[in-house]
């Protein structure tokens, strides 16, 4: 379907309007449309152009969420916290199995390693138990295949292990999945929602939400290049799924802070060829999760975890953050002697964790509703790996408020094949508005080592032909793509 003219939406009536076309918004649209609700999905930019495109790209099993920051003996006196962690991990494992079954072409499977060191906070037997618990929570649908080996045994199987420092005495070996293409997961989920009846309008910013009788009036403006316009849309219920921006959506809530941003930085490096395809999970010297993720011929390392209270639009990688990641990597692999010269590029995102007090994070995915603004639901605390779980939570909340509808025919998500060679069809039917939408989120080029630059010129001509761009618009799109690439994927300068 081509991009909708905004005027066609003016004074349209919907059961549900969803703000934010990231992973959660797309999953929510799929659930709502599938359950028979007349659904509109909006985003001020493109599908998956925010946090969903800046994740760590790992379909994580969730072991780290069982790790508590307080002394282990206190677990006996904090049963609610322990129960929340178990439920959260169970949801992760359920979603992991769903994606592995429904979208196998969007995932890659890798061998990961967990190093055991004498000074670790968690003894080997407890970590062994943790992996078994995680597998049990997932009902062994997609097993982790966990086993613990001596360092010598593990090094025989993986050159990556042989490069670890001398403090490592044994290794946990298990299977994890990486998102081969996280942005495309969101796009395909949105297209599946459309197959079920949802309406999608990207580059549409919400400028206000006001009560009118029993309805909400959602005011929007057109953010597409070379166009302008405004519209007012009627909705029985509004879902705020804007990720780290939820507290900044115009009219989307009061003064209550519902999300606490956590900044994560990742650094892309080419490690020795013998390490290719193998990954590592560990804890940093700060006691935070630290990963070495395999990515094609490269690896990326991170993330950092720091509270970020500024506007999410302003988030950027800082040099000291790159230095920290390299330092932690050199502690684990001292013979590599990594420096900034080894960094290919880096990127960062803001994870929208839930908060109840504005100061501390609240682990579970949360659907909230303010008493004075009924039928505006806000979703916080989800990651891309939990987007289907979040969509189901929202669907249950909508059914409780609007009642059930007659289910719509199911979409085509399971087993969907992407025909990447039919670029003209993608441009014409997949809500492509800007060149960056095509390169980074409809095609895999944006995740290549050159970040999509090698085909940008050729693709701009194809987009111009289908979307009737002028030559000046085509050149503007090329310039915007390059500026956006430099902003999102920073080429880190060498240390002075």
Q: What is the pLDDT of residue 181?
A: 85
Q: What is the rounded end-to-end Cα distance, in angstroms, of the chain? A: 51
Coil, helix or strand for 366? strand
Cβ(331)–Cβ(285) under 8 Å? yes
- Rounded Cα distance between 149 and 115, Å, is 10
Which two tokens mark 401? 């408020």
Residue 480 has pLDDT above 50, yes or no: yes
- Rounded Cα distance between 247 and 239, Å, is 13
Q: What is the pLDDT of residue 495?
A: 46
Q: What is the pLDDT of residue 492?
A: 56
- Rounded Cα distance between 86 and 313, Å, is 33
Give the residue range(s) of CATH 3.50.50.60 domains in the chain: 6-52+182-257+362-402
What average pLDDT score do residues 75-83 get? 87
Residue 262 has pLDDT above 70, yes or no: yes
Residue 494 has pLDDT above 90, yes or no: no
In this predicted structure, which of 47-51, 238-242, 356-360 has the lowest mean pLDDT?
A: 356-360
What's the chain's length in residues? 496
Q: What is the pLDDT of residue 55?
A: 84
User: Residue 346: in which H helix or E strand, if any?
Assistant: strand 343-355
Q: Would you state the CATH architecture of domain 6-52+182-257+362-402?
A: 3-Layer(bba) Sandwich (3.50)
Write out pLDDT tens, residues 94-136.
Answer: 999 999 999 998 999 999 999 998 888 788 998 999 999 999 9
DSSP states of 170-217: EEEEEEEEEES-HHHHHHHHHHHHHHTT-EEE-SEEEEEEEEETTEEE
pTM of the predicted protein model: 0.94
Model confidence at 488, pLDDT cuts 50, 70, 90, reads: very high
Q: What is the DSSP letter of 243?
A: G
Write out pLDDT tens, residues 391-431.
Answer: 999 999 999 999 999 897 776 665 455 677 799 999 999 99
Coil, helix or strand for 40? strand
Q: What are phi and psi of 84, to 5 degrees?
A: -60, -40
Write out pLDDT tens, residues 439-462.
Answer: 999 999 998 989 999 999 999 999
Mean pLDDT taken over the chain:
92
What average pLDDT score do residues 11-29 get? 97
Residue 145 has pLDDT above 90, yes or no: yes
């Amino acid at each position: 379907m081509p991009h909708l003219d905004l005027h066609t939406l003016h004074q349209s009536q919907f059961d549900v309007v969803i703000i934010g076309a990231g992973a959660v918004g797309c999953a929510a649209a799929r659930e709502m449309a599938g359950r028979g609700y007349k659904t509109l999905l909006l985003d001020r930019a493109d599908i998956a152009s925010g946090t969903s495109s800046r994740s760590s790209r790992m379909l994580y099993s969730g072991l780290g969420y069982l790790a508590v920051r307080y002394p282990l003996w206190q677990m006996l006196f904090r049963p609610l916290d322990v129960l929340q962690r178990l439920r959260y991990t169970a949801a992760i494992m359920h979603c992991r199995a769903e994606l592995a079954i429904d979208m196998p072409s969007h995932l890659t499977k890798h061998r990961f390693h967990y190093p055991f060191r004498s000074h670790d906070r968690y003894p080997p037997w407890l970590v062994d138990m943790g992996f078994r618990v995680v597998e049990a929570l997932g009902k062994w649908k997609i097993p982790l295949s966990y086993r613990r080996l001596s360092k010598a045994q593990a090094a025989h199987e993986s050159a990556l292990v042989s490069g670890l420092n001398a403090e490592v005495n044994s290794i946990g070996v298990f299977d994890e999945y990486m998102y081969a293409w996280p942005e495309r997961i969101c796009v395909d989920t949105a297209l599946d929602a459309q197959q079920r009846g949802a309406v999608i309008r990207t580059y549409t910013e919400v400028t206000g939400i006001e009560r009118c009788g029993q309805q909400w009036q959602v005011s929007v403006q057109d953010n597409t290049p070379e166009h302008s316009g405004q519209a007012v849309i009627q909705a029985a219920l509004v879902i705020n799924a804007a990720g780290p921006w939820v507290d900044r959506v115009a009219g989307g809530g009061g003064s209550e802070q519902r999300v606490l941003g956590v900044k994560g930085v990742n650094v892309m490096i080419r490690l020795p060829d013998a390490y290719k395809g193998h990954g590592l999970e560990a804890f940093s010297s700060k006691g935070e999760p630290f990963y070495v993720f395999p990515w094609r011929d490269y690896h990326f390392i991170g993330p950092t975890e720091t509270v970020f209270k500024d506007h999410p639009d302003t988030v950027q990688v800082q040099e000291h953050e790159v230095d920290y990641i390299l330092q932690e990597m050199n502690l684990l692999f001292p013979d590599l002697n990594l420096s900034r010269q080894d960094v290919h590029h880096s990127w960062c995102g803001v994870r929208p964790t839930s908060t109840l007090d504005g100061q501390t994070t609240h682990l579970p995915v949360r659907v909230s509703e303010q008493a004075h603004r009924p039928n505006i639901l806000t979703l916080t605390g989800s990651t891309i790996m939990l987007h289907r779980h979040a969509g189901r939570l929202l669907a249950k909340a909508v059914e409780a408020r609007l009642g059930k509808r007659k289910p719509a025919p199911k979409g085509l998500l399971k087993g969907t094949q992407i025909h990447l060679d039919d670029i003209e069809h993608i441009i014409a039917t997949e809500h492509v508005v800007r060149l960056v939408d095509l390169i980074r989120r409809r095609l895999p080029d944006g995740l290549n080592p050159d970040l999509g630059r090698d085909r940008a010129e050729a693709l701009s001509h194809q987009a111009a032909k289908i979307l009737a761009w002028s030559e000046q618009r085509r050149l503007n799109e090329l310039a915007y793509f390059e500026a956006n690439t430099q902003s999102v994927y920073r080429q880190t300068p060498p240390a002075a």
